């Protein structure tokens, strides 16, 4: 039978293949349209640039012809030799500009209509230039303005006819540019139609692919749902079996610890009777053996008490309610202080620390944490124990801090294990279940606990609780 993972992979594969196909079509569409648009733009730019260059050359020819006419007029009117020489230079330069622009226009590539018009323009310009040179010669030979006037009028009329040809040539250029734009528009409309056609084709293929994918997806969903139902039923059965086994283990641990206590009490009691009633018969070695038997049985009794407490925690039904943790800490500190009234400890308890938790379990947890700090600050010169809280994002973090002996964080993983100890029994008393108890209580509240410490610098225990159990 297919696994849930393989079904999901098949489903995802079909979706991916379908959308990749559509994506390839769309990319092909975009590439084709972009290529065609680029070709249209490039062709249009080249054509318009060529027409613009031709128009600029015609404009240069027109300006040169006007400058030549102005130079001729100044030569006729002016009498100062210096000014007439300047007018002649302008006249000659304008004639040179006209010829250069004309030659460049011929090399620009002309249509038949443009070539005919340019030839006509050139003939008229040559005719006008010939008349203008005749006027110049008359003026230089000393003829009067009145004598040169008829020829000057002929030159003006020839120039006007040339101007008409230049206007016609400019009109041809404008018409060619407009034709180029119309062709570009037509090509763009064709490209748009092509794009629309490909878009409709891609859309149709996408619909077909989508229908196939949806059909296959429904089949996979049905198969996946059937598998999930089977898996959920299997998990539910395994969960019930595990819960039953766990409950049996809890009952067994509780019964075992409870039932072993009675023989241990008997062992301890009879050992004490032997010491008290037969001490005169027993030698020192026998009395030492009995002392060790009693110490071992008492240690075993304390260990069993710890197991019973841990088992009770697991079986305890949680009752969540608002709890004032500050008040609980103050209650615990009073109890600890009353046990050793001669000890001077600086207690720093933050007021008004609230939590939603099981009050009886929080009493046990804080009692273990504060007792732990009380024990490990025994040899500190100015012992200080703190309780408080702070916000870390949306989570409230509670802490118990002291300046006691501390511990090496390398061994921190042993802190919260059952019967785990970081100090020898002859240094600090205890069975090593206090922090394990706290860890179990915090986890039952949906929280986490951690520690931070350095040898000789004290220790801080941080824990969180689920605010919405």
Q: What is the pLDDT of residues 226-283, one digit of tens each?
A: 777 778 888 777 777 676 555 555 554 555 455 555 666 666 676 777 777 777 777 7
- Which residue from 123, 147, 117 is spatially nearest to 135, judged by alpha carbons? 147
Q: What is the pLDDT of residues 331-387, one digit of tens each?
A: 889 888 888 888 888 999 999 999 998 888 888 889 889 988 988 888 888 999 999
Q: Where does 78-144 have alpha helices with state H?
A: 81-107, 112-140
For 61, the token pair is 């020819």
Residue 144 has pLDDT above 50, yes or no: yes
| Backbone torsions φ then ψ of 225, nearest 5 degrees | -65, -40
For 434, the token pair is 């206090």
- Which residue from 288, 201, 175 is spatially nearest to 22, judged by alpha carbons? 201
Task: State the Cα–Cα distance between residues 367 and 339, nearest whole angstrom.
Answer: 14
For 206, the token pair is 């996408």
Q: Mean of the per-residue pLDDT values for the chain?
A: 74
Q: What is this structure's pTM?
A: 0.42
How many C-alpha atoms does 5 have within 13 Å on its Cβ side? 0
Q: What is the pLDDT of residues 20-33, one digit of tens each?
A: 766 676 676 667 66
Provide the residue count of the chain. Answer: 469
Q: What is the pLDDT of residues 35-76, one digit of tens each?
A: 766 666 676 677 667 667 777 877 787 777 777 777 777 766
Task: State the Cα–Cα distance between residues 46 and 109, nearest whole angstrom.
Answer: 13
Please report the domains of the chain, with CATH numbers, ordered by start residue: 4-216 (1.20.120.1730), 319-464 (3.30.565.10)
Paired with 390 in beta bridges are 397
Question: 27: exposed, middle or buried (C-beta count within 10 Å: 0-12, 13-18, 19+)?
Answer: exposed
Task: State the Cα–Cα distance between residues 242 and 247, nearest whole angstrom.
Answer: 8
- How many other CB atoms are found less than 10 A from the CB of residue 157? 14
């Amino acid at each position: 039978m297919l696994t849930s993972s393989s079904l999901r992979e098949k489903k995802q594969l079909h979706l991916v293949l379908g959308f990749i196909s559509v994506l390839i079509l769309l990319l092909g569409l975009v590439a084709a349209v972009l290529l065609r648009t680029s070709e249209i733009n490039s062709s249009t730019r080249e054509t318009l640039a060529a027409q613009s260059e031709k128009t600029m050359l015609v404009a240069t020819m027109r300006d040169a012809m006007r400058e030549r006419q102005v130079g001729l007029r100044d030569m006729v009117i002016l009498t100062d030799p210096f000014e007439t020489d300047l007018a002649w230079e302008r006249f000659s330069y304008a004639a040179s500009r006209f010829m250069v622009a004309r030659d460049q226009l011929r090399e620009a590539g002309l249509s038949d209509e443009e070539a005919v018009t340019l030839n006509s323009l050139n003939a008229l310009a040559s005719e006008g230039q010939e008349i203008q040179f005749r006027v110049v010669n008359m003026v230089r030979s000393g003829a009067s303005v009145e004598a040169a006037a008829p020829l000057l009028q002929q030159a003006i009329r020839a120039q006007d006819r040339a101007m008409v040809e230049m206007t016609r040539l400019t009109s041809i250029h404008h018409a060619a540019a407009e034709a180029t734009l119309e062709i570009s528009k037509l090509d763009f409309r064709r490209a748009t139609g092509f794009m629309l056609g490909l878009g409709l084709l891609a859309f149709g293929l996408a619909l077909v692919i989508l229908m196939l994918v949806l059909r296959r997806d429904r089949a996979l969903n049905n198969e996946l749902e059937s598998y999930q139902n089977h898996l959920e039923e299997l998990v539910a059965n395994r969960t019930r079996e595990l819960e039953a086994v766990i409950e049996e283990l809890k009952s067994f641990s509780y019964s075992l610890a409870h039932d072993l206590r009675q023989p241990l009490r008997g062992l301890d009691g009879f050992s004490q009777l032997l010491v008290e009633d037969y001490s005169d018969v027993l030698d020192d070695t026998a009395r030492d053996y009995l002392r060790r038997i009693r110490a071992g049985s008492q240690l075993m009794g304390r260990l069993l008490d710890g197991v019973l407490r841990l088992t009770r925690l697991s079986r305890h039904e949680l009752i969540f309610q608002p709890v004032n943790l500050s008040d609980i800490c103050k209650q615990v500190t009073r109890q600890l202080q009353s046990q050793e009234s001669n000890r001077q400890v600086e207690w720093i308890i933050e007021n008004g620390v609230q939590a939603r938790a099981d009050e009886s379990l929080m009493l046990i947890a804080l009692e273990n944490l504060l007792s732990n700090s009380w024990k490990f600050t025994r040899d500190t010169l100015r012992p200080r124990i703190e309780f408080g809280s702070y916000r870390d994002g949306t989570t409230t973090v509670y802490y118990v801090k002291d300046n006691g002996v501390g511990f090496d964080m390398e061994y921190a993983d042993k802190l919260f294990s059952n019967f785990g100890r970081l100090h020898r029994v002859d240094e600090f008393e205890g069975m090593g279940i206090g922090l394990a108890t706290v860890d179990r209580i915090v986890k039952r509240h949906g929280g986490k606990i951690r520690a931070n410490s350095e040898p000789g610098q004290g220790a801080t225990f941080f824990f969180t609780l689920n605010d919405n159990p």
